[in-house]
């Protein structure tokens, strides 16, 4: 199959993150088996999703991981020109959900499997497909652990997110948490007898905003990220029952976009300390029913730029790209790096098309990626 044929097939599987990806996984297993390649499933706890990895080439250390996620974002509420799960071509582009983010890379890698098998590889190629990247990169950690535990150990990893085949050597991390505030209801004319959960939440959100302002003021002008500092942002909030009742409940969700090396732990610890010392005591003084809880929902580590990184050197050699590129969105690259593998992000397509209606990838990008993989095979042979 050509990369475009394989991409059309992968798009036909509706793998929005709230659905199972097992049909796609079964298809890939059968496809790999038809070329004599054994694969390993790494199921999630529910048994409704699975990651997959396979090795092509000799069972020795020193190979490369080609990594992609199988899930895609929803199409609900988007105005598509045609069925988003039935790919179509027009004006040198291939349209469909996941075409750019990131089934284009997965399809090109899978289409090249016959060439991988036929090559006289001196070092192996590991194909790694994850699930639930779009909702928190939940599938990658068990996948990486299983791949490394079974061995052999790869030398470096390439995460094929859409970068227009440019070599991305760093990205921000992300931490997501939900804060639930329980106040004490009272008639708003007797405000002194109640505790407004909304007012308490407002103090917490103001604290988070203040931290972003401090980071902005202290930002390193030489930092390559835009913006060049860690941000703390609350994007969802709900609470209250009526305008004349002090709100008993309020909850909101916050994400922290972390510079590489800036751990989420210190921010959440400082946040909880502010709750315990500056917000909760005044609430409890009115009612012991009051409470504030913080639930951590997701954490994805950033990808740090490496000094003399193996992955960077190899992929720059294969692409000819010597520019410095970092991105502010998170990928699974930081997870591979956290497990000790030199890692870069490099794949076909543009991030500008990701998550959009009529998502597309330029067919020329698939060709560029195929050529890149051809050169990779030559270097491993």
Q: Are 65 and 124 in contact (CB under 8 A)?
A: no
Task: Please answer whether residues 253 and 180 qualify as being in contact, where contact means their C-beta atoms are separated by less than 8 angstroms.
Answer: no
Cα 271 to Cα 275: distance, rounded to the nearest angstrom: 6
Q: Which residues contact 192 (CB under 8 A, 6 or more apart)?
A: none
Model's pTM, two decimal places? Answer: 0.93
The range of the structural domain enclosing residue 92 comes to 3-171+302-380
Which residues face 238 on adjacent strands? Answer: 251
**Both 262 and 178 in a single domain?**
yes
Residue tagged 């394989």 (tokens):
6
The pLDDT tens digits for 199-213 are: 999 999 999 999 999
Given 300, 326, 352, the domain boundary residue is: 300
Torsion of CA 28, 31, 35, 41, to 10 degrees: 30
Q: Which among 279, 300, 321 is the end of a domain?
A: 300
Q: Do 204 and 182 share a structural domain? A: yes
Q: What is the reported pLDDT for 207?
A: 98
Q: What is the pLDDT of residue 326?
A: 97
Active site members: 71, 133
pLDDT in tens, 79-137: 999 999 999 999 999 999 999 999 999 999 999 999 999 999 999 999 999 999 999 99
Q: Are residues 162 and 178 in the same domain?
A: no
CATH code: domain of residue 216: 3.30.70.360
pLDDT tens sequence across 286-340: 999 999 999 999 999 999 999 999 999 999 999 999 999 999 999 999 999 999 9
Q: Are residues 279 and 138 in the same domain?
A: no
Segment 224-282, tens digit of pLDDT: 999 999 999 999 999 999 999 999 999 999 999 999 999 899 999 999 999 999 999 99
Same-domain status, 184 and 145: no
pLDDT of 381 reads: 83
Query: Chain centroid to CA 295: how far?
Result: 20
H/E element, 55: strand 50-56
Give which of 126, 152, 157, 100 is closest to 350, Cα–Cα.
100
């Amino acid at each position: 199959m050509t990369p475009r044929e394989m991409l059309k097939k992968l798009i036909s599987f509706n793998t929005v993150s709230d659905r199972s990806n097992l049909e796609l996984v079964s298809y890939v297993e059968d496809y790999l088996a038809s070329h004599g390649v054994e694969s390993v499933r790494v199921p999630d706890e529910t048994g409704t999703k699975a990651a997959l990895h396979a090795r092509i080439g000799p069972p020795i250390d020193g190979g490369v991981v080609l990594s992609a996620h199988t899930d895609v974002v929803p199409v609900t509420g988007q105005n598509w020109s045609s069925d988003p799960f039935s790919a179509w071509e027009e004006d040198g582009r291939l349209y469909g959900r996941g075409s750019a983010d990131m089934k284009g890379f997965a399809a090109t890698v899978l289409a090249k499997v016959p060439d991988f098998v036929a090559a006289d590889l001196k070092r192996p190629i590991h194909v790694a497909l994850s699930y639930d990247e779009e909702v928190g990169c939940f599938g990658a950690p068990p996948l990486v652990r299983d791949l490394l535990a079974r061995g052999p150990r790869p030398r470096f990893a390439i995460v094929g997110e859409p970068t227009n085949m440019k070599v991305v050597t760093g990205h921000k991390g992300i931490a997501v948490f939900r804060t639930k505030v329980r106040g004490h209801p009272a008639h708003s004319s007797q405000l002194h007898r109640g505790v407004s959960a909304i007012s308490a939440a407002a103090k917490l959100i103001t604290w988070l905003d203040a931290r972003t302002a401090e980071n902005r003021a202290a930002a390193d002008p030489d930092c390559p990220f835009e913006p060049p500092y860690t941000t703390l942002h609350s994007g969802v909030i709900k609470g209250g029952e009526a305008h004349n009742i002090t709100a008993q409940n309020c909850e909101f969700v916050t994400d922290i976009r972390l510079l590489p090396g800036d751990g989420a732990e210190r921010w959440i610890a400082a946040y909880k300390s502010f709750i315990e010392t500056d917000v909760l005591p005044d609430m409890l003084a009115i009612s012991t029913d009051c409470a504030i809880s913080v639930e951590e929902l997701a954490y994805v580590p950033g990808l740090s730029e490496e000094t003399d990184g193996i992955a960077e050197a190899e992929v720059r050699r294969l692409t000819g790209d010597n520019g410095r590129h970092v991105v502010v969105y998170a990928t699974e690259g930081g997870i591979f790096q956290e497990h000790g593998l030199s890692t870069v992000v490099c794949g076909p397509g543009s991030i500008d098309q990701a998550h959009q209606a009529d998502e597309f990838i330029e067919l020329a990008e698939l060709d560029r990626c195929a050529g890149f993989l051809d050169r990779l095979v030559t270097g491993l042979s």
